[in-house]
Structure 1
Amino acid sequence: MFRDEDLALLSRPLYAFLTVAPREERWPAPRPVWFEAAADGTLQMFSEPGAPKVGRLREHPRASVVVAAPAGEPEHWVAAEGAVTLHDDGGLELATRLAPRYWTFDDPNHKLWLEQWRESGLVRIVVHPEKVNRFSA
């Protein structure tokens, strides 16, 4: 479903904004997340198992994801929506693989975060796009 120009944007160290079904008293609230466009056409991200978004995804396994080029560049964004599967395996591996894309390890706090993730375990969130919208200026 992703075009070459989509994949070029999705391969950059940008944040994806993940939106899941809100609780009854809340409005939808996108959350910035690290992500990877996988070879199988899915978008994968991770979270701590006790995060509210994981609980909501267990109740309503659908989400939308938006990735946009930063300000100062020509407008370009990709939005995908679809079913979500949650996996107890692969979350830490994904986080470890993505860490150099988003962090430098000169900051000792980054090493501490990775260690905390190792101890707590991570859930891998996989979005299976059913619809993709895009815009490129």
Structure 2
Amino acid sequence: MNSSDTTASAELGLRLIVPDRPAVPLVARLDYTADDPYAIKVSFHVGEDDPVEWIFARELLTVGIVRAVGEGDVRVWPAKGSGERTLNITLSSPFGHAQFDAAVAPVADFLHRTYEIVPAGQESDYVDLDAEIEQHLC
């Protein structure tokens, strides 16, 4: 895991769950920055092409470790498989649907690092609202 005072990143091994077939191992990169304190970017490396990127709420992963959460495009829930706790993530878009699972421990370690950078409830202290408004008006 890489991190600084304002960013954290980690490589995460996960499995693509394919109905009636063995799961496909993949690698995803998790990125977090204090510049966008509510969001985590997940880049799925699925071949030689550019990675597939999704951005979703940090809180979604955090809550998903303990209970099912999410509506619509991203859903996360805990499970227990092969003796270790796992995290299930389902992503839906107009282009398709995918379900992944990953060990909870590396996800929890990454999330812990993000909360060291920006504590829960203090995200708004890191957002420059005037700059955001100006960016959308110009």
Instruction: Kindly indicate which of the two structures has a greater share of residues assigned to helix.
Output: 1
TM over 0.5: no
**Greater Rg by CA:** 2
Higher relative contact order, chain-length normalized (CA < 8 Å, sep 6+): 1
TM-score of the superposition, structure 1-length normalised? 0.29
Instruction: Kindly indicate which of the two structures has a greater share of residues assigned to strand.
Output: 2
